[in-house]
Structure 1
Amino acid sequence: MTTATRRPHAGSGPLIDPQLASLLERQDQVAAAAGRRAVELIREWMLAQDRSWLAVDFTKTRPEPPFADDEGLAAAVRALPRRAFGSGLDLRGSFIVRLQALNAILGLMHADRTPMPPRPRLEVVVAGDDVTVFLDGAQLDGAAAYVVDAGRQRSYRQWMSARDAAIDRSSPAAGALLRKFYDHPPASGEIAGAPAGRPGEQR
């Protein structure tokens, strides 16, 4: 039986605290990212060892001998998503993590043994208003920078104008994040004439 973290919402009583909602969202994002990275690492290990499966202790906390003392492998095992253990327990009471299951999570063919390409390295250098972006060490031109700083707009009208302009020219994903930060910024008391508790209006 699959269980999910219950999230308060408008129909179930008082609205959830915005900061808590943001933290819970990030918690889910971090868990998903850690799970995917764990899948990638164990898949890489299997390919290097010329294996197609890994036996894991029934607690799902570490691999079975002779790999039980590999702490790096154990850390990855603990972060694996549930789907990786789809084969269930074997006759010895161990979980079997199979290459086919890891491939399925990564969207690969079941028998694929091709190494994953290295992930791109993205770097952002911010110096005041100057933002420089590097991808795998090469500078990218034309990157859009959005700075949400209550100290830059001294009036509510300026704040709302900056908010609307940023959201209008941003992508949908960036716009959603900008809307959250503009509507609930730190140091919002510096915005003259802002409504109490919330400088932005939903749009």
Structure 2
Amino acid sequence: MATTTQRPTGAADPQLTALMARQTQLAEAIERRAAEVVRAWLLDHHRTWVAVDFTKTRPEPPFDGDDGLTAAVGKLPRRAFGCGLDVRGSFIVRLADLNGYLGRLHDDQGPAKQQPRIELVIVRDPDGGTDAAMFLDGAELADGDVSEYVIDAGRGHVYRDWIESRDCVVESASPAAAELLRVSYDYPPGHQYIDGAPEGWPLEDGEDR
């Protein structure tokens, strides 16, 4: 009986993985900038659309001689080309589609304000802990770059330890996060599960803490 030999599989090279992630980010940045350039061209020429050759590499005449427009058209993202070829065999790039892609209003001619894309993936183990991973603009942040605060009154805390934990995280957090943390620790959901809390805690709104 013939047997097959499987080659051992190893972990991906970390440097290659990081370079590939940067390549993806660069490609996305190029597509976005191309959309901004074409959008600016449409606004400057008081147009709401431009026809593009079926190869998606150049605008149709009479604008095929515009080198700047041609360079940008060739780098547009797929979603900028609408619903496919028209009856003449051309793609139509519409201002409305670019506005939607860029998240702009029709009459907004100011510079693009790019909001960071933040993604948080939380995996909860009912019988264990919680793992969280954060991504900023598509790139995962290292553990050392993220400050994670978990407030869970139902995990068997003692009041004294609870208050010490509050003071520690409030001191280390940014001012905005510190205020939310302070309120969350002082008025936690499930506070009845914290052992050793003084009578009347948490205080009602308006009472002195």
Normalised by the length of structure 1, the TM-score is 0.51
Deviation, structure 1 residue 79: 0.9
Look up the equivalent residue of 1:24 and give its one-letter code: M
Contact 1:55–1:64 under 8 Å retained in 2: yes
Residue of structure 1 in register with 2:190 after alignment? none
Q: What's the CA shift string for 1:73-122, capped at 9, x where partnerless?
A: 1110111001101231111100000001000001124xx122032679xx
Structure 2 unaligned blocks of 5 or more: 1-8, 115-133, 146-209
Q: CA 1:175 to 1:50, structure 2 compared with 1: closer, same or farther past 3 Å?
A: closer
1:114 to 108, 113, 123: 108
Task: State the shift of 1:172 in Å.
Answer: 8.4
Change (3 A) 1:45 1:22: same
Provide the residue aligned with 1:59 in structure 2: 55
The whole-number CA distance in structure 1 between the counterparts of 2:140 and 2:78 is 32
Alignment of 1:158-177 (within 5 A): 176=141
Q: Distance in 2 between matches of 1:172 and 1:19?
A: 18
**Residue 59 of structure 1: CA displacement?**
0.4
CA distance in 2, matches of 1:99, 1:172: 30
Cα distance in 2 between the residues matched to 1:175 and 1:86: 31
Give the direction of change, closer, same or farther, for the CA distance of 1:60–1:175 in structure 2 (3 Å limit). closer
Q: Which residue of 1 aligns with 2:82?
A: 86
Aligned mates of 2:66, 2:135 — CA distance in 1: 43
Change (3 A) 1:176 1:70: same
Gaps of 5+ in 1: 1-12, 121-170, 181-203
- Out of 2, 15, 27, the residue aligned to residue 19 of structure 1 is 15
- TM-score, reference length from structure 2: 0.50
Distance 1:172 1:53 in 2: 35
* Pick aligned residue for 1:35 from 31, 34, 40: 31
CA distance in 1, matches of 2:50, 2:77: 15
- Kept after mapping to 2: 8 A contact 1:87/1:97: no
Aligned pairs, how many? Answer: 117
Tell me the alpha carbon deviations over residues 140-170 of structure 1, each in whole angstroms, 9 at most, x when there is no partner.
xxxxxxxxxxxxxxxxxxxxxxxxxxxxxxx
The structure 1 residue matched to 2:96, chosen from 79, 95, 100, is 100
Mapped contact 1:63–1:77 kept (Cα < 8 A): yes
Cα shift at 1:19: 1.4
Q: CA RMSD in A?
A: 2.9
Separation (CA, whole Å) in 1 of partners of 2:135 and 2:57: 39
Give the deviation of 1:70 after TM superposition.
1.2
